[in-house]
């Protein structure tokens, strides 16, 4: 028996003796109370037996916090005159979580005031009994999912017949031990079965008292099952102290375990769900009940084993890590005593000394002093302190920099010229400047870092030029973009006091490249931001100043760094966006863009070749004509750069690749199908020279006439005739005019053709779509009041027309209305042009009152494009005079220049871009200010070719040229 297993004496107390009040902790351990709360309803033990004979037994008090008088009053079981079996009509109490077993003690909460009052009244009438019935789950709900708060809420809402239908039929007759507020403490006595409902509010039911079925105590099967339950409980007791507390308490207050008691005990304290417990409660056959309980305690045993294994695994893991840590510490101490190994700090110090030792002779003295001080400081710091990690990182950066280490530069001008020409076409200004830099370095024996700024529209190759320069000079290359940069710390580093502090970009660059004379490309320098963390443009002043960067000071390193040997190359789209102090430290090299001829060379020699290789297409498989490239440049890719041109060429070759693959798959499928139908008919025609007219490589796209065995040039196509039922020629003799005989049953000859893909102007639209650009030139001969001007944009140069028309004419109605999204400067230019035109007209035709009596409208198309700038003054003046004189300007004439009130022509910018725009529009005659003659003379000969350029100082020269005056001999050319 369990009583003997536990070695605890159990005494049956007399029925009439009420035990003295003891706190709950005497009977139940804290773990026991926790277990009861986790299972949804706490089960305690009373001294009443399962058959109702000991109804007035002792009760374990739950509410230990109540005062002594109240506790004494509530702990005693109220004496009753009728016996429990006399109660055939009882109040029905729903139990949401677990059924109440006979001999056990359970507190429940009653929220219904009427039911609570009825219970109180029953207790006061010396009839403290009610029926406790388990509540059924809602239809469609999962009983394994715990939703305690929702279940309680549903119990409180159920009333009357709805509640009656939700109750299990078998329950327990429970004695009302005490009532504390809405808490009612029940003691289970015997099993009940609901017969019928008596009343609805509160729910009262008529019940039948159930007794266990008769059984033979000496039956071997029942006895064996009983002993197996005890054996299983004994195993569980070895692993779980909770069960040990349960057994001790039960045997002390209930007595020895009988067969029915043991079955109820095992089911009540097991971790089974409520439906399994209800099944045990409903079972009246003691043997079956023992079997059900045995199954539950066996499951509990398995759970205990799993719990024990989990606890053991965690304990072993923790103890293993602790043991390993202790052994490692002991090993370190032993090695330290024997001198076999140094500690972490000594190893770190040794690593830093080894790193700086090869550079000690080249390293500046002030840097060596800082490194030695930091190494001494590192030895004195604890490895767990935050200062230790800061010092370690600082030394890591200091010793990793290439102090005094320079790469061997190549001063071979011829090799540099070859590399630059290999990578880029044109760009003579940039190449000459780099060659000059190399020549100076060769004469001096050393090269001094310079700051070169490459300015120009997008796609002209500014960034790739920097990489080519580094290759030509044999320098390491490092690029970083400052577009949108708003934090000064990205340039000059953070202070070491901050968490996660790092040096600036230049220190990171030197560490990455490993030399002190790299080429650093600072991209998008005209797009610097300015945020709350300072002004990065001002921080770049020290970095890019040749007089200051020999002692550049990074906030993190806090030691001067020599950057004078670094070659800085900056790129910008618009020079005007660069702050003047920063621009003053740079040498600007302008890249205006490429004219059509240059784009043709670049597309043919660079872009097409690289794209074809990237797509895996052989040169003999495709041909792109010059007319197609020219149409692509003029109608799709008119911008100054070639990036968009490269995208369009890649688009063309991708479509060609798809076309070739599809044709190859079609022919392979046709050959396979013909061979499967009649393999002997796979005939190969042979020409007179004995060569195969159709070869496998030709099927894959080759169209070389020589490889095709002498076929005609007009037929770049390969024909493969596959008759369905043609008999093969026995001797394979060739006949040029051989005609296959076909009968009515023969199938139609299938002809598959593969062409050498030809991209011409006619089929260009199939590959790149409709043209994006159309001719900028709207008029062959500009009408009266319309003059072509030249403009500069960030994408290069362009031509635009300035149109003036007469709106209204009348005495004293002279006025000027302006449209075209013009900026403030351009609006002022229109007023100046109007005044100058009136003065010129008064001089040329004193009796012409056109401007005084005419309301004019001046427009600059396209109206959706914003425009501003002063260089359209002379064009506007000419447009106004053309309308006043009713004479169109000279054909193929374009002009640019700023005009003053006295008629003087001031210089303008963007000469190369405007010249390229004029050539694109097929303009023959251009008018520039005289001050721009030097800019025009510096242009490449192919840009100036075929242009009649006039340089003027005064507007009267433009007047004579535009309106064909015979006295135009004084205009400079």
How many CB atoms sit inside 10 A of residue 892's CB?
18
Q: How far is CA 770 from CA 383, 625, 773, in A?
A: 70, 18, 9
d(CA 473, CA 419): 10
Query: Is the CB of residue 865 less than 8 Å from the CB of residue 784?
Result: no
Q: Contact, 145 vs 73, CB < 8 A? A: no
**Helices of type H across 624-750:** 626-635, 643-677, 696-699
Q: What is the b/e burial string over 121-142, where b = at least 16 CB atoms within 10 angstroms of the residue's CB?
A: ebbeeebbbbbbbbbbeeeeee
- Start-to-end CA span in the chain (Å): 128
Are 755 and 710 in contact by the 8 Å Cβ rule? The answer is: no
Number of helical H runs and strand E runs in the chain: 35, 27
Cite the beta strand spans of 210-303 per DSSP E. Answer: none
Distances (CA, A) of 367 to 34, 80, 281, 313, 807: 67, 100, 87, 54, 78
How many CB atoms neighbour CB 799 within 10 A?
19
Is residue 600 packed enough to be buried (19+ CB in 10 Å), middle (13-18) or exposed (0-12)? middle
Whether 459 has a binding-site annotation, put simply, is yes
207 among annotated binding-site residues: no
Which residues face 171 on adjacent strands?
Answer: 192
- Alpha helices per DSSP H over 518-642: 536-544, 580-583, 596-602, 608-615, 626-635
- Collapsing DSSP states into helix, strand and coil, what is residue 500? coil
Report phi then psi at 946, rounded to 5: 80, 10
Confirm or deny that 34 is annotated as ligand binding: no
Q: Is 536 annotated as a binding residue?
A: no
d(Cα 24, Cα 30) in Å, to the nearest integer? Answer: 10
How many residues make up the chain in this entry?
Answer: 973
Residue 690 has which token pair?
């004995």
What is the spatial distance between Cα 481 and Cα 529, in angstroms, rounded to a whole number? 12
Asked if 271 and 39 count as a contact pair (C-beta separation under 8 A), the reply is yes
Total Cβ atoms within 10 A of residue 445: 7
The answer to whether 710 is a known ligand-binding residue is no
Residue 463 annotated as binding site: yes
Local structure of 185: helix, strand or coil? strand
- Asked whether residue 457 is marked as a ligand-binding residue, the answer is yes
CA distance 661 to 894: 50
SS3 90: strand
365 marked as binding residue: no
Q: What are phi and psi of 172, to 5 degrees?
A: -130, 135
d(CA 202, CA 198): 10
Quick one: residue 378, left, alpha or beta (phi over 0 = left, psi -120 to 50 = alpha)?
alpha
Are 924 and 892 within 8 A, CB to CB?
A: yes
Shortest CA distance to 376 belongs to which of 398, 401, 395? Answer: 395
Q: Which residues belong to the active site?
A: 871, 914
Do residues 43 and 101 make contact, with C-beta atoms less than 8 angstroms apart? yes
Nearest Cα neighbor of 266 from 231, 290, 302 is: 290
Give the residue carrying structure tokens 């920063």. 582
With both helix axes pointing from N to C terminus, report the angle between 643-677 and 626-635 in degrees, rounded to the nearest 10: 130
| d(C-alpha 692, C-alpha 707), whole Å | 9
Element (H, E) at 765: helix 765-768
**Known binding site for ATP: residues?**
456-463
Binding-site members are: 456-463
């Amino acid at each position: 028996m369990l009583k003997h297993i536990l070695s605890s004496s159990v005494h049956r107390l007399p029925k009439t003796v009420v035990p003295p009040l003891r706190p709950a902790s005497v009977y139940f351990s804290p773990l026991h109370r926790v277990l009861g709360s986790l299972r949804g309803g706490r089960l305690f033990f009373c001294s009443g037996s399962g058959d109702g004979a000991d109804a007035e037994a002792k009760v374990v008090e739950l509410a230990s916090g109540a005062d002594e008088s109240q506790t004494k009053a509530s702990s005693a079981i109220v004496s009753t005159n009728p016996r429990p079996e006399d109660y055939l009509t009882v109040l029905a109490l729903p139990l949401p979580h677990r059924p109440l077993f006979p001999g056990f003690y359970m507190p429940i909460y009653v929220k219904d005031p009427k039911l609570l009052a009825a219970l109180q009244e029953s207790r006061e009438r010396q009839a403290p009994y009610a029926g406790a019935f388990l509540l059924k789950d809602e239809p469609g709900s999962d009983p394994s999912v715990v939703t305690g708060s929702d279940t309680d809420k549903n119990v409180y809402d159920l009333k009357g017949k709805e509640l009656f239908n939700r109750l299990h039929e078998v329950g327990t007759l429970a004695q009302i031990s005490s009532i504390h507020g809405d808490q009612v403490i029940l003691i289970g006595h015997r099993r009940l079965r609901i017969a019928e409902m008596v009343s609805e509010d509160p729910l009262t039911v008529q019940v039948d008292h159930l007794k266990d079925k008769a059984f033979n105590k000496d039956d071997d099967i029942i006895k064996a099952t009983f002993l197996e339950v005890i054996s299983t409980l004994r195993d569980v007791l070895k692993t779980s102290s909770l069960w040990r507390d349960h057994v001790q308490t039960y045997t002390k207050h209930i007595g020895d375990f009988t067969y029915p008691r043991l079955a109820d005990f095992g089911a009540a304290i097991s971790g089974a769900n409520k439906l399994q417990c209800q099944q045990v409660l409903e079972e009246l056959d003691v043997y079956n009940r023992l079997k059900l309980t045995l199954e539950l305690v066996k499951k509990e045993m398995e759970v205990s084993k799993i719990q024990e294994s989990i606890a053991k695994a965690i304990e072993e893991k923790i103890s293993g890590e602790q043991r390993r840590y202790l052994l490692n510490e002991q090993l370190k101490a032993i090695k330290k005593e024997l001198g076999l190994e140094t500690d972490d700090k000594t190893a770190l110090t040794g690593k830093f000394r080894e790193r700086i030792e090869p550079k000690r002779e080249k390293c500046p003295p002030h840097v060596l002093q800082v490194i030695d001080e930091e190494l001494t400081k590192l030895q004195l710091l604890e490895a767990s302190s935050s200062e230790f990690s800061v010092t370690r990182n600082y030394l890591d950066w200091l010793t990793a920099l290439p102090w005094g280490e320079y790469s061997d530069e190549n001063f071979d001008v011829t090799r540099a010229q070859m590399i630059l020409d290999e990578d880029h076409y044109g760009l003579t200004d940039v190449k000459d400047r780099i060659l000059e830099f190399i020549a100076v370095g060769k004469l001096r024996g050393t090269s001094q870092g310079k700051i070169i700024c490459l300015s120009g529209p997008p796609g002209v190759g500014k960034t790739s030029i920097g990489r080519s320069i580094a290759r030509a000079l044999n320098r390491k290359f490092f690029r970083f973009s400052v577009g949108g940069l708003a934090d000064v710390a990205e340039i000059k580093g953070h202070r070491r006091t901050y968490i996660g502090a790092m040096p600036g970009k230049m220190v990171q660059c030197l560490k990455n490249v490993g030399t002190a004379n790299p080429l650093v490309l600072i991209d998008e320098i005209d797009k610097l931001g300015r945020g709350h963390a300072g002004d990065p443009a001002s921080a770049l002043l020290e970095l890019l100043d040749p007089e200051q960067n020999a002692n550049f000071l990074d906030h993190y390193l806090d030691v001067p760094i020599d950057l004078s040997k670094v070659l800085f190359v900056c790129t910008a789209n618009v020079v005007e966006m660069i702050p003047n102090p920063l621009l003053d430290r740079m040498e600007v090299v302008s890249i205006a863009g490429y004219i059509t001829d240059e784009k043709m060379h670049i597309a043919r020699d660079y872009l097409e070749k690289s794209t074809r290789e990237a797509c895996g297409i052989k040169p003999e498989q495709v041909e792109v004509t010059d007319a197609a490239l020219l149409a692509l440049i003029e109608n799709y890719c008119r911008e100054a750069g070639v990036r968009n041109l490269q995208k369009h060429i890649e688009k063309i070759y991708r479509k060609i690749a798809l076309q070739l693959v599809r044709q190859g798959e079609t022919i392979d499928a046709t050959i396979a199908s013909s061979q499967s139908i009649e393999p002997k008919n796979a005939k190969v025609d042979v020409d007179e020279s004995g060569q195969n007219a159709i070869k496998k490589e030709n099927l894959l796209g080759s169209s070389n006439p020589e490889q095709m065995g002498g076929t005609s040039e007009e037929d770049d196509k390969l024909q493969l005739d596959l008759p369905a039922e043609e008999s093969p020629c026995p001797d394979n003799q060739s006949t040029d005019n051989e005609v296959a005989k076909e009968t009515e049953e023969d199938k139609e000859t299938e002809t598959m053709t593969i062409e050498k893909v030809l991209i011409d102007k006619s089929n260009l639209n199939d590959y790149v779509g409709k043209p994006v650009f159309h001719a900028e030139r709207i008029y062959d001969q500009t009408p009266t009041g319309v003059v072509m001007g030249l403009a500069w944009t960030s994408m290069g140069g362009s031509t635009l027309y300035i149109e003036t028309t007469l709106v209204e004419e009348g005495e004293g109605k002279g006025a000027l209305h302006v449209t075209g999204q013009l900026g403030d400067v351009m609006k002022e230019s229109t007023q100046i042009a109007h005044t100058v035109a009136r003065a010129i007209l008064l001089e040329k035709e004193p009796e012409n009152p056109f401007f005084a009596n005419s309301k004019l409208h001046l427009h600059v198309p396209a109206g959706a494009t914003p425009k501003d700038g002063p260089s359209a003054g002379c064009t506007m003046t000419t447009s106004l005079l053309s309308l006043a004189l009713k004479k169109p300007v000279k054909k193929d004439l374009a002009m640019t220049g700023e005009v003053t009130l006295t008629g003087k022509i001031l210089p303008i910018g963007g000469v190369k871009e405007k010249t390229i725009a004029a050539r694109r529009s097929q303009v023959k005659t251009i008018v520039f200010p005289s001050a721009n003659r030097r800019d025009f003379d510096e242009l490449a000969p192919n840009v100036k070719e075929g242009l009649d350029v006039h340089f003027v100082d005064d507007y009267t020269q433009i007047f004579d040229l535009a309106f064909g005056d015979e006295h135009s001999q004084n205009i400079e050319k």
